[in-house]
Structure 1
Amino acid sequence: MPIVVDIDVMLAKRKMSVGDLADRVGITPANLAVLKNGRAKAVRFTTLAALCDVLECQPGDLLRWEAKDSADG
């Protein structure tokens, strides 16, 4: 998928655990793991806003677009 989720980067910068982030955002650690590992098909804006609020960042700090490699066809 060309959208990459960089939650790990922000967690490391904030010295925060996945469990703590999940608790503070109000989602399950399993759902956060799905998002963090790039397996999510969608994310609610309310969840994205909560992540940004807790991590004190912008949506662009968590999500980025990566061009598909032309060799992938």
Structure 2
Amino acid sequence: MVIAEAIRRMCDESGKGPIQVSQELGKSRAYVSAAISRGNIPRVDTLTQIAQACGYRLVLESDTDRIVIDPTEE
């Protein structure tokens, strides 16, 4: 799945529109909409914040390991 589709799906499944998610992140109203419609690729930390705002986590998996990216840790 491409990132724009993943963002659209997270928004749809969470019941939040792109504008609401953008506002929760402190971004412009069009920020998440632009990522979806134009295929703009957000930075990993921003994608993690979008996921969290929609009730998701960003996870990296291999056959033997699983890493959950936490947007609150630096």
Same fold, TM-score > 0.5, yes or no: yes
Percent identity, aligned pairs only, is 12
What residue number does 2:37 align with?
A: 37
Structure 2 segments unaligned to the other structure (5+ residues) = 60-74
Give the secondary structure class of the aligned counterpart of 1:12: helix
Runs of 4+, deviation exceeding 4 Å? none
The CA RMSD over aligned residues, in Å, is 2.2
What residue number does 1:47 align with?
A: 46
The alpha-carbon distance between structure 1 residues 26 and 47, as it changes in their structure 2 partners (threshold 3 A), is same
Tell me the matched-pair count: 58
Give the secondary structure class of the aligned counterpart of 2:39: coil
Equivalent runs, 1:1-73 vs 2, <5 Å: 3-5=2-4, 6-40=6-40, 42-59=41-58
Question: Per residue, is there more helix in 1 or in 2?
Answer: 1
Amino acid at match of 1:22: S
What residue number does 1:69 align with?
A: none
Report the TM-score, using the length of structure 1 for normalisation. 0.59
The alpha-carbon distance between structure 1 residues 52 and 4, as it changes in their structure 2 partners (threshold 3 A), is closer
Q: Which has the higher contact order (CA 8 A, sep 6+)?
A: 1
